[in-house]
């Protein structure tokens, strides 16, 4: 009965939005004592734009930038990469995305009685466990939630909006901490696919590189 009341109260206080821009500061460490090329990505930013069924994630660092434009309606995406002056465009259909995100199938969140305030939002703690046994921690808020939960496959099952989390990829640790949230309308042009200036690469080819 108590848990049902808490759920109802969270639902009442929750603000659902169709458009939102979220900026995360990225903190990267390689776990090595000597400087590593991965450390040069420390200080990068990741910006997430969500507008209806469309979403876009831009990661920008001093050496590399990438954007992923996702259409949740038909579950397709376009990946844009720019490194050393080379600009590459990769299209992903629903099967490609399913393969790319297969490690996230069956992800489970355990909700922990711990909280803190991030960027003015009250956040709660959760631990995610993946099918391979790996895990990561996330602090999320119930106060504001995008209607489109497909913008990031890591968090489709999370009961809120992630404002701080840390992912581990091999020896690499990447911590994301929100620095700003904006609810202003996003121009549709933000989700347009470039028609020139990029070399198009097939998804299968990109996996071999």
Mean pLDDT score, 35-53: 80
| pLDDT at 78 (0 to 100) | 98
Tell which wins on pLDDT, 203 or 108.
108
Across the beta sheet with 86-92, the strand order is 108-118, 121-129, 135-141, 161-169, 172-182, 19-29, 45-51, 54-60, 64-71, 76-83, 86-92, 199-201
| pLDDT at 8 (0 to 100) | 45
Statement: residue 5 has pLDDT above 60: no
How far apart are the C-alpha atoms of 85 and 63, rounded to whole Å? 10
Give the torsion through C-alpha atoms of 87, 93, 98, 103, to 10 deg. 0
| pLDDT at 168 (0 to 100) | 83
Q: What is the pLDDT of residues 76-92, one digit of tens each?
A: 999 999 988 899 999 99
In the chain, where the domains are located: 15-199
Q: How confident is the model at residue 43 (pLDDT cuts 50, 70, 90)?
A: confident
Name the superfamily (CATH) of residues 15-199: Lipoprotein localisation LolA/LolB/LppX (2.50.20.10)
């Amino acid at each position: 009965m108590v848990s049902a009341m808490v759920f109802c109260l969270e639902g009442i206080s929750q603000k659902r939005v169709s458009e939102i821009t979220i900026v995360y500061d990225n903190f990267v460490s390689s776990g090595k004592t000597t400087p590593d090329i991965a450390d040069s990505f420390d200080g990068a930013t990741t910006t997430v734009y969500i507008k209806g069924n469309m979403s876009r994630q831009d990661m920008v660092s001093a050496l590399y930038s990438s954007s992923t434009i996702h259409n949740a309606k038909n579950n397709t995406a376009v990946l844009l990469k720019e490194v050393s002056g080379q600009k590459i465009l990769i299209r992903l259909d629903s099967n490609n995305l399913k393969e790319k995100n297969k490690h996230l199938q069956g992800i489970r969140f355990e909700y922990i009685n711990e909280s803190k305030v991030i960027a003015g939002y009250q956040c709660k703690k959760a631990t995610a466990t993946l099918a391979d046994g790996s895990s990561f921690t996330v602090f999320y808020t119930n106060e504001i939630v995008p209607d489109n939960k497909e913008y990031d496959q890591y968090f489709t099952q999370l009961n809120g909006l992630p404002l701080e989390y840390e992912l581990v990829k091999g020896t690499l640790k990447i911590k994301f901490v929100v620095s700003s949230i904006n609810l202003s309308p996003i121009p549709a042009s933000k989700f347009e696919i470039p028609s020139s200036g990029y070399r198009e690469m097939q998804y299968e080819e990109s996996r071999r590189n």
